Structure 1
Amino acid sequence: MRWDGLFADLEAQLAHGRWQDTETEAAELTRGERASIVLADRLRGAIGAPLTVMLEDGQRLQLTVSTVGSSWIGGSDRSGSLVLNLDAVAAIDSPLSVTTPESSPGRRHLGIGSLYRSLSRARAGVLVSGRDGRVLGEGTIDRVGLDHLDLAVHPRDEQRRGRNVRGLRVIPYGAIHLVRSAHTSSV
């Protein structure tokens, strides 16, 4: 009868070993799945939520996320609407615990150029800030290339009219970290 106890003990050890193998495999699969998550998907899970974002220049923005592209975040803060280049983000003070992959293949590949083209079509007055926090220009986006945009320089709270335009500035996307909407003034 002593053999029965030995066999039961061996069976228990085998079952425990299989469970450990299953746990190890599950942990490895979880790590592999996490390794494929991109920041944009985590930010998409925060749509509608307030975030604190630290930019490369040390500036901290408190914004509410409204849309997320493959390389940019759209949202608003106390000053109005804005678009952030994800490359300019140094840190985000939020756990970003929900992951929401983009379900549309077409939208998944919309880069920041598509957003700039939309702003250009809308003739929206904008303020463009560079990576060091300096203002690169304010006015209206006239043309959008593959890796740069042309900004008609004028006060962003004025219409783009010939008399208001002070020049044309070509700005590479890589130099831009933030684009803000025009302030609306109440008279």
Structure 2
Amino acid sequence: MRFERIFEDLEGRFAHHEQQEMRAVSEDLTRAERAQLTLVDRLRGASGARLIVHLGAGMRIQGDVEDVAADWLLLRESAGSTLALVPIERIAAVEGLASRARPGDDSPLGTLGLGGVLRRIARDRASVRIETTIGALTGRIAAVGADSLDVQTLPTGEASAVPGSTRITVSMDALVVLRIR
């Protein structure tokens, strides 16, 4: 009988150590998997979620995630009719981002780079408000190059160019957020 208790005790200890080792391995695998996730993967996992995106210098945007690509995020702002296009490199912090993630890209727009999306906006002749590192512009995108875009300003919100409107070239590196009305 004494030997049976000794063996039971050893079996119990062995089972406990096995569980502890499995837990430790599982935690290590979880940490290793988490280390592979990018901000873009986590933003893709937040499709439809309401987020607050901080862009630095006190600027933030709140809205629902509409679409995400490797170098941009599209939010539908709280007002419901305005879309905000944010270059990923401009995001300083995100509030409300769950730990879910979705690697890969299954969105029809997700394969387009920032330049491709800007060309679509230019083609649609949508009125935009562009926040840059030096200030804001309102107008229409006239042309999109490899690293810059030309904006035909509409200082008082006209439908087409009028006296006082100018064409300004903006470096894509200076683009902070583009709002599409």
Q: Which band: TM-score by shorter chain?
A: 0.7 to 0.9
Aligned to 1:142: 142
- Output the TM-score relative to the length of structure 1: 0.80
Aligned to 2:129: 127
Q: 1:11 to 1:103 in 2, by over 3 A?
A: same
Aligned to 2:88: 86
Q: CA deviation at 1:128?
A: 1.1
* Matching of residue 111 in structure 1 with residue 113 in structure 2: yes
Given that residues 119 and 141 in structure 1 are in contact (C-alpha distance below 8 angstroms), is that contact kept between their aligned partners in structure 2? Answer: yes
Q: Alpha-carbon deviations, 1:57-96, whole Å to 9, x = none?
A: 2123222221122222212223722211222222222142
3-state secondary structure, aligned to 1:74? strand
3-state secondary structure, aligned to 2:92? strand
Q: CA deviation at 1:56?
A: 0.7
Aligned to 1:37: 37
Given that residues 115 and 144 in structure 2 are in contact (C-alpha distance below 8 angstroms), is that contact kept between their aligned partners in structure 1? Answer: yes
Q: 1:115 to 1:165 in 2, by over 3 A?
A: farther
Given that residues 138 and 157 in structure 2 are in contact (C-alpha distance below 8 angstroms), is that contact kept between their aligned partners in structure 1? Answer: no
**Whole-Å Cα distance in 2 between the matches of residues 180 and 18 of structure 1?**
56
Aligned letter for 1:59?
M
How many residues align? The count is 179
Given that residues 88 and 131 in structure 1 are in contact (C-alpha distance below 8 angstroms), is that contact kept between their aligned partners in structure 2? Answer: no
3-state secondary structure, aligned to 2:43? helix
Identity rate, percent: 32
- Output the TM-score relative to the length of structure 2: 0.83
Structure 2: gaps (5+ residues): none
Structure 1: gaps (5+ residues): 183-187
**Whole-Å Cα distance in 2 between the matches of residues 156 and 97 of structure 1?**
43
**Whole-Å Cα distance in 1 between the matches of residues 49 and 17 of structure 2?**
44
Given that residues 126 and 156 in structure 1 are in contact (C-alpha distance below 8 angstroms), is that contact kept between their aligned partners in structure 2? Answer: no
Aligned to 2:26: 26
